[in-house]
Amino acid sequence: MSRRLFIGLMGAAAVVALTGPAVAQNYPTKPITMIVPFAAGGPTDALARVIGQKMSEKLGQQIVVDNAAGAGGTIGVAKAARGAPDGYTVLFTHMGTLAVNIALYKSLPYDSQKDLVPVGLAGTNPMVLVTKKGFPAKDFKEFKDYVAANQKKVQYGMAGIGAASHLGGLMLNSMMKVEVLEIPYKGTGPALNDLVAGQFDYMVDQAVNVLAQIQAGNIKPLGVSTKKRLAQLPDVPTIDESGLPGYEVTIWNGLFAPKGTPEAIVTKLNAVLGEVLADEAVRKRLMDLAVDLPTKEEATPAALGAQLKASIDKWVPAVKAAGVQPE
Ligand code: MLT
């Protein structure tokens, strides 16, 4: 080997060392911003805070949640996609913002597969159809008949185009063959407050957000979005069994980073996320909220990338087939 080639190779090795494990060894040396693309107090925010708090204890640095809400989560995801790829900006979001909304916007300010790197899956959530307490239906059949007969005055709430609650609602409305007025919010946290106050009629939201208000008797659950009933709501039938066979919507949440974030940092964040999801107290808290936690195989960055692709392949044609026009 010539002396020049040898020196060149040594130089390349030094660069690899500085950008590889050496970077991750000291990381993090300052607080990390975790972008949540929905309002505080909603399901994405709640999960991000439970997980972020424990991750920050393990990393020895604060994780600061930035609720960059609006436009069905696209504002926050775009902010994360433009973030510095140094491990100090991460994104906690769900499949609505990365997969479903590809079918719902004529042009998105990011490409979820190219502008972000997957870090790890945080869990999958069932959804629940909930109505305001005074809604004149005691079960799904009565709900369906009432909505069909009152399409001009019934209102459903959702967290913007491409949100999980939008997907749950649009699939429900499309399968019930009804068109009702949509009330958009910056997240289902504020939407739930208004549903409890009786300001609109119904929404399909992640169980993690609505269980407490259902248990307090402040809203009515009329169906769950999974093929099996939920242990937390054993008396609530599935929507599928109640007269809309084939209705099934679940929402996965995951941690992402801007494209270009060093692989060693992604690996470290994935390992810490895994430790957090293995923590007994965190597991119990999330499982009580009906979150289905990832298996070891589902927990890798590559598995999250595959999950994202599978969701794009599944939901983009399904949403188009439901006849929703992109904005
Ligand atoms: C939220 O955190 O507010 C929700 O995930 C919104 C949604 O996607 O429905």
Mean pLDDT of 9-35: 70
3-state SS, residue 101: helix
What is the 186 CA–ligand 1 centroid distance (Å)?
A: 8
* 8-state DSSP, 82: T
C-alpha dist (Å) from residue 70 to 38, 51, 168: 7, 22, 18
Which pLDDT tens digit goes with each residue over 287-319? 999 999 999 999 999 999 999 999 999 999 999
What is the token pair recorded at 218?
């402040």
Strands (E), the chain: 32-36, 63-67, 89-94, 116-125, 127-132, 155-158, 181-184, 202-206, 219-224, 251-258
Q: Tell me if 94 sits within 8 A of 121, measured CB to CB.
A: no
Domains, the chain, in order of start with CATH, read: 32-125+251-322 (3.40.190.150), 129-241 (3.40.190.10)
Element (H, E) at 117: strand 116-125
What is the 168 CA–ligand 1 centroid distance (Å)?
A: 11
Q: How confident is the model at residue 10 (pLDDT cuts 50, 70, 90)?
A: very low
- pLDDT at res. 325: 84
Which of 125, 170, 203, 206 to mutate to test ligand 1, by most ligand atoms within 8 A of the CB atom?
206
Which pLDDT tens digit goes with each residue over 244-262? 999 999 999 999 999 999 9
Element (H, E) at 10: helix 3-19
Which pLDDT tens digit goes with each residue over 89-122? 999 999 999 999 999 999 999 999 999 999 999 9
Q: How confident is the model at residue 164 (pLDDT cuts 50, 70, 90)?
A: very high
What is the token pair recorded at 60?
């020895």
End-to-end distance of the chain based on CA atoms, in angstroms?
60
Q: How confident is the model at residue 19 (pLDDT cuts 50, 70, 90)?
A: low
pLDDT at 14 over 90: no
- pLDDT at res. 1: 44
Candidates 51, 120, 123; CA nearest to 300 is 120
Ligand 1, CB cutoff 6 Å, lining residues: 38-39, 42-45, 94, 96, 159, 163-165, 187-189
- Please tell me the pTM assigned to this model: 0.92
Give the type of residue at 223.
G
What is the 302 CA–ligand 1 centroid distance (Å)?
A: 25
Mean pLDDT of 51-63: 98
Of residues 264 and 17, more confidence is placed in 264
